[in-house]
Homo-oligomer: A and B are copies of this chain.
Amino acid sequence: MMNVIIAQSGGPTAAINATLAGVIRGLYGKEEIGTIYGALHGITGVLEEHFLDLSASCRDDEDFLDRLTCTPAMYLGSCRVKMPEPEENKAIYDRIFVTLQKYRVGAFFYIGGNDSMDTITKLSREAERRNCKIRFAGVPKTIDNDLVLTDHTPGYGSAAKYIATSLLEIAHDTYIYDLPCVTIVEIMGRDAGWLTASAALARNTYNITPQLIYLPEVPFHRSAFLEDVRHQLSISKNVIVAVSEGIRDELGVYISAKAKAEDKFGHVQLSGVGKALEELVRREIGTKVRSIELSILQRCAGHVTAGQDLRESGEQGQKAAEWVLEGHTGFMPAIERIADEPYQYRIVERKLAEVANKARGVPREWINEDGNDVTGDFLDYVRPLISGEVDLSWKDGLPMYLPVGHLNHGNNGRR
């Protein structure tokens, strides 16, 4: 009989709680499993011994896992802690392993993106070095879709669905006037263009927008951009441009209105590329122009998630639990695609060490030659990932999410 800790880390997605629910589903009620703890605010919850009893939540509320599945952002809270190397700070690892022993923890699940995989890899290696039998699993999530060795990541499909839906609605909004107008939509994704590329899904039989799509995988040339916009204005009055926050010029300098400081992981905080291009179009072309930043709503819009994404997110969580129960450690479940049409996939096991600290962008062959659009192959790839709608419960006109888990526990959330 062993206890288990689950934690979440990194940026929110609309599907990360579906993964948490999946892990719990795979563990709850199994005879080998004692208490399932949720550590609050990622690894800091372990360091500070802030835990929720998730077994009790399952026991007390039979709808807990269903409601958790549909609730956006981290139920357990998050952190942005960069774990040091064990040789740099042995004390922090001592503290973690003492806590894990104190709570009789036999398995630790960390749900997160690239940086979280770094944390869990370090813990897993350190456990091996200490000859400790605790099992460690990383469970993926990131709207950025930039993890390697997986077809796509939990959270990406829902964010892509939100983006494509929003782009389609922005198209309806911008088609109404009979005047030339350029609309620039800034989309997240840091150095990977996956999210921005999904804007192409908004095109249909009557909507040709967004006509231009710029991804960070291809250097951005201001002059070519202006030529592209002028050309599109000669074809249609309504020009919509989807642009990634992470586009850079040939020298690798970010195209943005203002540079912000780097975060702890050395990622530049990006903002304002939409405004920068808006100003450029206004100055050089002089047509009506506006910019829209989809902002954090693209990662937390629980009311427009992809059913396929929530399902796969849960399955990967559940599979991680199964494999841990079989004695596996140091792994991450991943998606291997079998076919596009009809879409088929299976869940496979990857070694954490092969996943952490690597990033995967949109392949060059899925971007057109001019570097201002995606190809049909990309569309075949992304289309199945946004499919399916979720039957959310609403009350008094608003989605019924699960109350944020870490509120009313200790002094988290409120002071």
Determine if A172 and B12 form an interchain contact, defined as CB atoms under 8 angstroms apart.
yes
Instruction: Tell me if A79 counts as interface (CB < 8 A to partner B).
Output: yes
B202 and A404 form a contact (CB under 8 A): no
**Chain A stretch 379-393: residues in CB contact (< 8 A) with chain B:** 383, 386-389
Whether A170 contacts B296 in the complex (CB less than 8 A), given A397-B164, A398-B165, A412-B178, comes out as yes
Contact partners of A201 in chain B: CB under 8 A? 397-398
Determine the distance from Cα of A398 to Cα of B166 in the docked complex, in whole angstroms: 10
A265 within 8 A of B: no
What is the distance, in angstroms, from A110's C-beta to the closest C-beta of chain B? 15
Tell me the complex Cα distance, A235–B407, Å.
13
> Is A242 among interface residues, defined by CB-CB distance under 8 A?
no
Evaluate contact between B72 and A397: CB separation under 8 angstroms: no
For residue A231, give the distance in angstroms from its CB to the closest CB of chain B. Answer: 12
The answer, yes or no, to whether A313 is at the interface (CB within 8 Å) is no
Is the CB of A44 closer than 8 A to any CB of chain B? yes
> A292 contacts B296, CB within 8 Å?
yes
Q: Which residues of chain A (165-201) have a CB below 8 Å from chain B?
A: 165-166, 168-173, 175-178, 201
**Cα distance, A206 to B166, chains bound together (Å):** 28
Interface 0/1 of A69-100, CB less than 8 Å to B: 00111100111100000000000000000000
Is the Cβ of A404 less than 8 Å from the Cβ of B172?
yes
- Closest B residue to A201 using CB positions: B398
Given A202-B398, A237-B415, A387-B396, A295–B296 Cβ distance below 8 Å?
no
The distance in angstroms between the C-alpha atoms of A12 and B236, with both chains bound, is 20
Residue pair B173, A73 in contact (C-beta under 8 Å): yes
Segment at the B interface, from A31-39, A116-124, A300-308 = A300-308
Please, which residues of chain B bring their CB within 8 A of the CB of A166? 297, 301
Chain B positions within 8 Å of A376 at CB level: none
Closest to A45 in B: B178
For chain A, what secondary structure do more than half of its interface residues adopt (helix, strand, loop), or is it mixed?
loop
Chain B residues whose C-beta falls within 8 Å of the C-beta of A389 in the assembled complex: 394
Residue-wise interface mask of A (202-237) relative to B, using a CB-CB cutoff of 8 A (1 in contact, 0 not): 101111000000000000000000000000001111
**What distance in Å separates the Cβ of A10 from its nearest Cβ neighbour in chain B?**
10
* With known contacts A178-B41, A292-B295, A306–B169 Cβ distance under 8 A: no
User: Residue A115 at the B interface, CB < 8 A?
Assistant: no
- A286 contacts chain B at the CB level, 8 A cutoff: no
Query: Is A300's CB under 8 angstroms from B170's CB?
Result: yes
In the complex the two chains form, is B176's CB within 8 Å of A77's CB? yes
With the chains together, A399 CA to B172 CA distance in Å? Answer: 12
CB-CB contacts of A295-332 with B at 8 A, as 1s and 0s? 11101111110100000000000000000000000000
Closest B residue by C-beta to A204? B398
Q: How far is the CB of A141 from chain B (nearest CB, A)?
A: 13
A336 contacts the other chain (Cβ, under 8 Å)?
no
Binary flags per residue of A148-167, CB closer than 8 Å to B gives 1, else 0: 00000000000001001110
In this assembly, does A403 line the interface, its C-beta being within 8 Å of a C-beta of chain B? yes
Contacts A205-B403, A237-B413; A78 near B176 (Cβ below 8 A): yes
Does the CB pair A397–B404 fall under 8 Å?
no
Answer whether residue A414 sits at the interface, using C-beta atoms and an 8 A cutoff. yes
Given that A72-B169, A403-B206, A413-B238 are known contacts, is A175 also in contact with B397, CB under 8 Å in the complex? no
Of the A-B pairs whose beta carbons lie under 8 Å apart in the complex, a sample of 26, sorted by A's number, is A12-B172, A12-B173, A72-B169, A73-B173, A73-B176, A80-B177, A161-B398, A165-B399, A168-B401, A169-B399, A172-B300, A172-B302, A173-B299, A175-B413, A202-B398, A204-B398, A207-B403, A236-B413, A236-B415, A292-B295, A292-B297, A297-B297, A303-B304, A383-B397, A386-B396, A388-B397
Which residues of A are in contact with B by a Cβ distance under 8 Å?
12, 40-41, 44, 71-74, 77-80, 161, 164-166, 168-173, 175-178, 201-202, 204-207, 234-238, 292-293, 295-297, 299-304, 306, 383, 386-389, 394, 396-399, 401, 403-404, 406-408, 412-415
Q: A12-B172, A41-B178, A73-B169 are in contact. List 13 more A-B contacts (CB 8 A).
A: A78-B176, A161-B398, A168-B401, A170-B297, A173-B296, A175-B404, A206-B403, A236-B414, A236-B415, A237-B415, A292-B297, A386-B398, A388-B397
